[in-house]
Amino acid sequence: MSKPSSQKRLTPFRIQSMKGSTPIVCLTAYTTPMARALDAHCDLLLVGDSVGMVLYGLPSTTSVTLDMMIAHGQAVMRGVSRACVIVDLPFGSYQESKEQAFRSAVRIMQETGCDGVKLEGGEEMVETIAFLTARGVPVCGHIGLMPQQVHTAGGYRSLGHNESEIARVRRDARAVGGSGAFAVVIEGMVEPLAREVTASIHAATIGIGASPACDGQILVAEDMLGVFIDFKPKFVKRYADLAQTIEEAASTYADDVRNRRFPAKEHTFDLRPPPP
C-alpha cells in the first residue's frame, strides 16, 4: 500500500489568488475512484448536486438531499491529496435562512472534511454568503443558469439575451462577488456578459457554458469522458468516449460467458495439496 501524500491541498484562498493568472482547472467528482483519477490534474473538485442526475438518474437536482451530498463528499475526500474540494449545498438546505445555511454547511464540512461549500443564487443570497464567510465557511457562489431554480426559470437555457437578463446578471455578480465568496460559478451565459462579469468582480470566476475569459472552467466529469450515449450539452467537449468502450467491454464479456471462455483456468482456484 502506498504511503499517504505529504503534499498540501489547495485552499479556497489559493484558488481565489489564481484569478487573472493561471487558469483554474475544475471537474466534478462523486466517488473515491474518480477523485483519485482526477486529483493530480485538477485544482478544484466539486461534489456537485448534479450527482442526482448523473449517478441516480433523477430528472433534476432538486431531489438531492443533504445526506446524499455528505456521503459523496466523504467518498471524494478519501481520494484526494491535492485538489481543493467544494461540496454543493442541495436544494432546500440553505434557502430558508442564513442560520439554516450555516447549520447545513457546518454538517458538510465537519462530516466530510471538505474545504468549503457552493450555493446557488444572486442578490437574494448576499446576506447568507456574508453570514457564512464571517463564521469561517468558505463559499463558492453560482449565478446565471441555476439548476436548482429550473422549475421557475423555464428550463435549462442560456442567459444574457435581453436587457432584463443582462441587468439581473450584473446585479447578481456584483452582489455575490462583493459578499465574501472566494469564487463564483458562471453557468449558461452569453460570452460577452460572462467576460464582463469576470473582469468586474474580485472573486475568481469558473465558467461552464460561459466564456473562455473566465478564471477557470468546470465540466461534469462524466460529460467530459463521454459516459452518456444520448446526451451532450452544447458547451461540453468530449475528451473520451467511455460509453462505447464500456458497451464493447460488456459485449465481449457477455460473449465470453455464454461461450464458456470466461472464467478460464487462470481465473479459478485449484484445490491446494494437503500439507506434508
Q: Which residues are annotated as a binding site for Mg(2+)?
A: 49, 88, 120
- What b/e string do you get for 245-265 counting C-beta neighbours within 10 Å, with b at 16 or more? eeeeeeeeeeeeeeeeeeeee
Q: What is the DSSP string of 78-147?
A: TT-SSSEEEEEPPTTSSSS-HHHHHHHHHHHHHHH--SEEE--BSGGGHHHHHHHHHTT--EEEEEES-G
Q: Which residues are annotated as a binding site for 3-methyl-2-oxobutanoate?
A: 49-50, 88, 118
Cβ contact 203:118 at 8 Å: no
Residue 173: strand, helix, or coil: helix
Known catalytic residues? Answer: 187
Give the phi and the psi of residue 246 in degrees, each rounded to 5.
-65, -45
Give the phi and the psi of residue 261 in degrees, each rounded to 5.
-90, -15
Owner of C-alpha cell 466539486:
46
Residue 247 vs residues 16, 69, 242, 262: alpha-carbon distances, Å: 41, 29, 8, 18
Q: Which residues are annotated as a binding site?
A: 49-50, 88, 118, 120
d(CA 218, CA 142): 12
DSSP structural state of residue 25: E
d(CA 212, CA 29): 22
Cβ contact 221:206 at 8 Å: no
Whose CA is closest to 140, among 180, 194, 173? 180
